[in-house]
């Protein structure tokens, strides 16, 4: 499963990119390898929970706020 992200900057290492994703608590950022971002989307873990508006997912890296799992809008889920 993939979620929509928006690249917003580069990381400390040459192949890192800072991406921002929408969550139920507002935008959050995380640093990932640039090769993991495809078509402005990022692979995440299988949904842990869901409701009509949001899906609870595990992220591949911790966000700058310290979260490994976040609620993302269902509309931000990308097929793949």
User: For the segment 12-22, what is each residue's pLDDT rounded down to a tens digit?
Assistant: 899 999 999 99
- Global pTM reads 0.89
Mean pLDDT score, 55-62 = 95
Residue 46, pLDDT > 90, answer: no
Mean pLDDT score, 35-63 = 94
Cα separation, 75 vs 56, in Å, equals: 13
Closest among 3, 1, 58, 10 to 32, alpha carbons compared:
10
Please give the backbone phi and psi of residue 34, each rounded to the nearest 5 degrees, phi first.
-60, -25
Tokens at 73, concatenated: 């809008």
- Domains in the chain: boundaries: 2-78
51 CB contacts (<8 Å, ≥6 apart)? none
């Amino acid at each position: 499963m993939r979620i929509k992200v928006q690249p917003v900057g580069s990381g400390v290492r040459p192949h890192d990119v800072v991406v921002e994703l929408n969550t139920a608590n507002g935008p959050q950022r995380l640093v990932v390898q640039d090769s993991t971002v495809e078509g402005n989307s990022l692979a995440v873990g299988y949904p842990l929970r869901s409701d009509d508006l949001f899906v609870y997912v595990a992220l591949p890296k911790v966000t700058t706020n310290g979260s490994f799992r976040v609620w993302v809008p269902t509309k931000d889920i990308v097929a793949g």
